[in-house]
Amino acid sequence: MFLACGASFGAEPPTPVRQTELMTLLKHDCGSCHGLTMKGGLGPPLLPDTLTGKDDQELARIILDGVPGKPMPPWRFELQPEEARWLVDRLREGLK
């Protein structure tokens, strides 16, 4: 048995089907402010370079809770915490 395997993850990573949904959300919903390729628009660029030095947890928290007083809306009702973290990883890799 490998019960300890993956125990450090709070939850399972998104399934492949959900990953496709999340990428569509990222390009369409997030892209409407951050740009289709995340180069920025109404929202700041979310490129690997611009995210350097920022904390994964903090970025995921912003995605879940939004930024009060700024146009960045909360996504907690659409995204699970582990899905927000997964999106941060995709942003760090950069969109193809």
- Contact residues for ligand HEC (CB under 6 A)? 25, 29-30, 32-34, 42-44, 46, 54, 59, 62-63, 67, 70-73, 75, 87
Nearest Cα neighbor of 15 from 74, 86, 63 is 86
CA angle (63 as vertex; 55, 89 as ends), nearest 5? 55
Min separation Cβ 59 and ligand HEC, Å: 4
For residue 43, the 8-state DSSP code is S
Complex with ligand HEC: residue 2 or 77, whichever CB lies closer:
77
Which amino acid makes up residue 85?
Answer: R
Complex with ligand HEC: residue 62 or 95, whichever CB lies closer:
62
